[in-house]
């Protein structure tokens, strides 16, 4: 039975900061969702600061940033912004910060592209296509309308990104303050998520790929309906096995923790259990929406319902790829999964 993570630090208040390792600072910013916060990491660098992730574009977060800039940066500039992935809580203030600092933005190619596509309302941000997709998986029109009303508009939230960026790739080594940070990419949560591992200092900035308490959202998206994001996520998780067991993990949500390998095991067990539940739910032909209560046994608001359906479909598609479920369009226009 995997052990629970150990948390060496107390919860940090919004707008406060804590040095979690020499010259590495934890910043905690609010989010306007059920998941109410994100962690950012500010690393002292030779000629200024390197920042990892930027926060969600709200007045509240920008106000916190203004006081961080006055009090924390010690008169030095942010020289580089590394963004783990394109989700708006991570990327949306990058453009705003870059107006203030002459910094470069470092991202993987897919995440940079996806952020740009969303900003310009490309297929990944096509809300109408997403609504049709949800309806085809059995979501009621009422729920679809409720989700639509709550979903943030990426084009408005993501501040304009520069047209130039620095591409980072799996295995690249980024020098920060003389330390080597190796890029570990992963998929399933987003297309090419970048985590950063400093082996000498035994630190892992895990982004959203490994979180200590909640499981990372792994969803089938409307622009890639036949994808296997859970398969991608599980194989990405295995890439973290090379990180030392006693590394301090700095995740994007919740608190820094110890116990990476046990956490990876319990995430794998969690998905195994959900796969079993999804399979059992499909004894009769079943839509993704009908599968949700077997996978999430808690109340979900309309914003969470979109994540929940995406996640139910991720489990159903994994079972489809394992040859255990079939998937077919029915006369009522809905897609249903059945045991084979």
Q: Give me the residue whose beta carbon is nearest to Zn ion.
A: 87
Q: Are 106 and 81 in contact (CB under 8 A)?
A: yes
Q: In angstroms, what is the minimal distance from the CB of 280 to Zn ion?
A: 29
> Which residues, numbered 49-88, are part of the site for Zn ion (CB under 5 A)?
87
Size, binding site for Zn ion by CB under 5 A = 2
Q: In angstroms, what is the minimal distance from the CB of 193 to Zn ion?
A: 8
Which pair of structure tokens corresponds to residue 153?
Answer: 């508009």
> Helix, strand, or coil here: 123?
helix
> Which residues, numbered 255-294, are part of the site for Zn ion (CB under 5 A)?
none
Closer residue to Zn ion (CB): 87 or 263: 87
Q: In angstroms, what is the minimal distance from the CB of 122 to Zn ion?
A: 18
Q: In angstroms, what is the minimal distance from the CB of 277 to Zn ion?
A: 24
Q: In angstroms, what is the minimal distance from the CB of 83 to Zn ion?
A: 11
Which pair of structure tokens corresponds to residue 221?
Answer: 């998206």
Closer residue to Zn ion (CB): 45 or 208: 208
Q: In angstroms, what is the minimal distance from the CB of 305 to Zn ion?
A: 17
Q: For strands 78-82 and 104-107, give the pairing.
A: parallel
**According to CB under 5 A, which one of 111, 192, 208, 311 is a site residue for Zn ion?**
208
CA distance 183 to 242: 13
Closer residue to Zn ion (CB): 208 or 311: 208
Q: In angstroms, what is the minimal distance from the CB of 276 to Zn ion?
A: 26
Part of the chain binding Zn ion (CB under 5 A), chosen from 31-39, 171-179, 205-213, 277-285? 205-213
Q: What string of DSSP letters covers 59-95?
A: HHHHHHHHHHHHHTSTTPPEEEEE-S-SSHHHHTTHH
CB contact burial 258-285 (16+ within 10 A = b; e otherwise): bbbbbbbebbeeebeebbebbbebbeeb
Q: Is 228 a binder of Zn ion (CB under 5 A)?
A: no
Which pair of structure tokens corresponds to residue 74?
Answer: 């010690």
Q: In angstroms, what is the minimal distance from the CB of 295 to Zn ion?
A: 19
Q: Are 239 and 186 in contact (CB under 8 A)?
A: yes
Which x/- pattern, by CB under 5 A, does the window 85-124 give for Zn ion? --x-------------------------------------
Among positive and negative, which fits the CA dihedral 156, 80, 239, 111? positive
Closer residue to Zn ion (CB): 252 or 286: 252
Closer residue to Zn ion (CB): 217 or 317: 217
Q: For strands 48-52 and 179-186, give the pairing.
A: unpaired
What is the rounded radius of gyration, in angstroms, for the C-alpha atoms of the chain? Answer: 20
Angle at 205 between CA 162 and CA 269, to 5 degrees: 120
Closer residue to Zn ion (CB): 168 or 325: 168
> Which residues, numbered 2-41, are part of the site for Zn ion (CB under 5 A)?
none
Tell me which residue has tokens 């919740």. 254
Part of the chain binding Zn ion (CB under 5 A), chosen from 130-138, 171-179, 206-214, 256-264? 206-214
CA distance 32 to 292: 24
Q: In angstroms, what is the minimal distance from the CB of 89 to Zn ion?
A: 7
Closer residue to Zn ion (CB): 87 or 255: 87
Q: Which residues bind Zn ion (CB under 5 A)?
A: 87, 208
């Amino acid at each position: 039975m995997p052990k629970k993570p150990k948390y060496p630090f107390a919860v940090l208040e919004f707008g406060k900061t804590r040095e979690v390792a020499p010259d590495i600072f934890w910043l905690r910013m609010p989010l306007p969702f059920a998941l109410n916060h994100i962690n950012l990491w500010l690393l002292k660098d030779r000629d200024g600061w390197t920042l990892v992730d930027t926060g969600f574009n709200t007045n509240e977060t920008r106000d916190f940033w203004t006081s961080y800039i006055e009090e924390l940066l010690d008169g030095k500039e942010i020289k580089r912004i590394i963004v783990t992935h394109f989700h708006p809580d991570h990327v949306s203030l990058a453009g705003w910060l870059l107006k203030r600092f002459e910094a470069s933005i470092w991202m993987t190619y897919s995440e940079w592209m996806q952020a740009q596509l969303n900003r310009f309302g490309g297929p990944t941000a096509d809300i109408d296509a997403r609504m049709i997709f949800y309806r085809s998986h059995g979501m009621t029109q009422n729920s679809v309308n409720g989700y639509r009303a709550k979903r943030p508009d990426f084009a408005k939230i993501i501040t304009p990104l520069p047209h130039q960026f620095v591409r980072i790739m799996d295995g690249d080594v980024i020098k920060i303050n003389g330390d080597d940070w190796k890029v570990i990419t992963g998929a399933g949560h987003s297309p090419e998520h970048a985590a950063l591992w400093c082996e000498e200092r035994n630190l892992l900035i895990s982004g959203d790929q490994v979180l200590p308490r909640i499981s990372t959202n792994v969803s089938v998206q409307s622009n890639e309906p036949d994808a296997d994001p859970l398969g991608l996520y599980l194989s990405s998780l295995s890439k973290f096995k090379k990180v030392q067991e006693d590394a301090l993990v700095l995740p994007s949500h919740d608190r820094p923790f110890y116990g990476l390998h046990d956490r990876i095991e319990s995430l794998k067990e969690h998905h195994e259990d959900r796969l079993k539940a999804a399979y059992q739910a499909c004894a009769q032909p079943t839509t993704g929406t009908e599968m949700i209560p077997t996978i999430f046994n808690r109340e979900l608001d309309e914003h969470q319902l979109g994540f929940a359906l995406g996640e139910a479909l991720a489990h159903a598609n994994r079972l489809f790829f394992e040859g255990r479920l079939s998937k077919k369009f029915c006369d009522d226009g809905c897609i249903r999964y059945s045991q084979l």
